[in-house]
Amino acid sequence: MTLSVPPIRKVYQGVADRRQMFRMFDRHAQRPNRWQGDDDGALYRGEWFEIGGAEHDHMFEILPPLWMRGDMFALREFLTGSITSVFFELSIDGRLRHFHGYCDLAEKGSPEVLRAAIIARESWPVRAMTPEERLEHIWSATHDDYRGYAGERWPRCLQGKRTVLCYEGRRGTTLKLLEHLTEAEISAKLPVHLRYLPDALAA
């Protein structure tokens, strides 16, 4: 499976609770040939989302961190290759907030680059979402039973792409590629408080 993913991306809107945090540690758990592909690291590298202060402290206390640098620490256990979790405690607009992100520690300075990207994204003057963030939030929030990956019944060029189950009225439910959802379907799958946020161009 080959996916084209942006280098740094927010994958959930709002503050994830503990259950959601652990669930999103591996948003790609259902993918075909898990851990057998060369691009496993690309699926995770640069993903980030906000968590609560209690969740941040809980992860700090689980194991001694691999390292600590001021407002961030890295988990000792690697997810795949040189990819591991980095947790941030950042002051943004005068408020202390907490985040989780995946960094490739083989890339020099990747935690600092991710920290800068999070601060820049969360400092937008107007609350908004990019089209990509809408799709990522839908993927993160959808239960495993209602999302998956295009398999052998799909054309070869589409196999491995992410799918979600959609309700189409009298036609019942059908699987659609996440990237092919219509504006109406995207709106229906977003919680009400996110449906009417203005679009923002990705930086």
Does residue 27 surpass a pLDDT of 60? yes
Sheet of strand 83-92, all strands in order from the earlier edge strand to the far edge: 9-16, 47-51, 95-104, 83-92, 72-80, 67-69
Give residue 126's pLDDT band: very low, low, confident or very high (50, 70, 90).
confident
pLDDT for the residue 1: 42
Residue 202 near residue 6, CB atoms below 8 Å: yes
Q: What is the pLDDT of residues 33-47, one digit of tens each?
A: 766 665 677 788 899
Most confident range, picked from 104-118, 125-139, 150-164: 104-118
Does residue 168 surpass a pLDDT of 80? no
Does residue 177 surpass a pLDDT of 60? yes
- Per-residue CA distances from 117 to 121, 122, 127, 129 (Å): 6, 9, 16, 15
Residue 145 near residue 31, CB atoms below 8 Å: no
Of 190, 188, 185, 187, the closest CA to residue 175 belongs to 185
Residue 190 near residue 196, CB atoms below 8 Å: no
Average pLDDT (84-103) is 95
Average pLDDT (116-126) is 90
pLDDT for the residue 55: 95
Cα 103 from Cα 37, distance rounded (Å): 18
pLDDT for the residue 74: 95
Cα 133 from Cα 153, distance rounded (Å): 28
pLDDT for the residue 38: 56
